Amino acid sequence: MASSDNNAVTKRTVLLAVLVVIWVLLDQFTKSLVAGQELGKMFAGPFLGLIDFKLVHNTGGAWGIFEGNTVALGVFSLVVCALLLAYYIWQRREVNLVQTVGIGLIMAGGIGNAIDRFVQGYVIDFIEFSFFDFPVFNVADIGVTCGFVILFIGLALAWRNESKDES
């Protein structure tokens, strides 16, 4: 493998680690800012008619599924993060920049919510859409959701490039 390939892999790996750390810190910081608010009451907003802030303690998953299974969901999050990390390590020479960002955001979101689940017994959610009914969420959830979209875009780009190379 050429030195430039090793440099690219190293840069992507550093990006992955830095992205995970920064996103987890951002998630935990924002949760610490809202933790003292009154549970279930809007405490800020609406902002631009789009979002408001309301503290919710979530012991389930998205849309409240698996309510009360916070430890199992925390373990599941960490298993998914470990599998993503294993995939990244195994495929590090083939993983592109877009996939790296997607994997990093998913891992950071999973770790951020797992921290809440194991330390507090629930996930702190506080971001709520003002203009339609949608579950209350947090920065970690944004990472997971956007990360999956970005990862699939990165995979699609890689598959597209592979099919061009084969022609």
Which are the catalytic amino acids?
125, 141
Please state, in angstroms and rounded to a whole number, the distance separating the CA atoms of residues 58 and 56.
Answer: 6
Residue 138: strand, helix, or coil = coil
For residue 28, give the amino acid letter: Q
For residue 54, give the amino acid letter: K
Please state, in angstroms and rounded to a whole number, the distance separating the CA atoms of residues 126 and 71.
Answer: 20
Residue 93: strand, helix, or coil = coil
